[in-house]
Amino acid sequence: DPEGARKFLVDSRWLGLDPARTKALQVKLERLHADATASMPAGNNGSATSQNDVLTVSRMEYARFAGQTGRVAADCGRNGVFGARRSWIAPGGQRPDNGPVVCVSADDANAYASWLGARERRRYRLPSAGEAKAQSTSPVAGWLTLCGNSSCSKRMVSGKPKPLDANRGYNDVGIRLVREG
Backbone dihedral angles phi then psi of residue 161, each to the nearest 5 degrees: -75, -20
Task: State mean pLDDT over 103-120.
Answer: 95
Residue of higher predicted confidence among 144 and 18: 144
Reported confidence tier of residue 136, pLDDT bands at 50, 70, 90: low
pLDDT for 35-92, tens place per residue? 555 444 444 433 333 456 788 999 999 999 999 999 999 999 877 666 678 889 877 7
pLDDT for 117-128, tens place per residue? 999 999 999 998
For residue 158, which amino acid is it? S
pLDDT for 154-179, tens place per residue? 999 988 889 999 999 999 999 999 99
Give the distance between the most distant pair of CA atoms in the chain: 64
Query: Is pTM beyond 0.75 here?
Result: no
Q: List beta partners, residue 53.
A: 179
Strands (E), the chain: 53-56, 124-125, 141-147, 154-157, 164-165, 173-174, 176-179
pLDDT of 169: 95
Backbone dihedral angles phi then psi of residue 58, each to the nearest 5 degrees: -85, 165
